[in-house]
Amino acid sequence: MTLIEVMFAVVILSGVMLALSQFGQEFTKATRNSANLGIASDLATARLEVIRAFPAYDSLEIVFSGTETDANADPSLVGFENFTRTTAFRSTITVVGSDTVAHYKTVTVTVTSPLLRAAVAKSVDIASRQ
């Protein structure tokens, strides 16, 4: 093997190692983002389950609307200090026929974090319990 061949081999090997390093960094970022998306999804789902189990339909907005960032959240955000959870409501009243009214609320929980590339939002419709 000549010196030129060795130098070409080193250049090619260096290029491959550089590409693998870049791939490793991107893979690590994607894995970390995926884990954080899972956490955000679980935090949103947990909040929706607490809201769905709440017995007083008429006071859902009063009790649950707003933004949470601390341990006093329901369910608690202890251990998830980088996450912020916002709960919003939209009421829908539909008149069906002459005297029947269908009433439901759409609850949207949005979880944000500087660790996420995009916010995670989950929604559920809750019907009036009559």
Q: Would you list the domain boundaries of the chain?
A: 3-127
pTM reported for the whole predicted model: 0.79
Q: Can you say whether the dihedral through the CA atoms of 28, 29, 30, 35 is positive or negative?
A: positive
Tens digit of pLDDT per residue, the chain (130 long)? Answer: 788 888 999 999 999 999 899 998 999 888 989 999 999 999 999 999 999 999 988 899 999 999 999 888 888 899 898 999 999 999 988 777 776 677 889 999 999 999 998 999 999 999 876 6
Q: What is the rounded CA–CA span in Å between residue 32 and residue 27?
A: 9
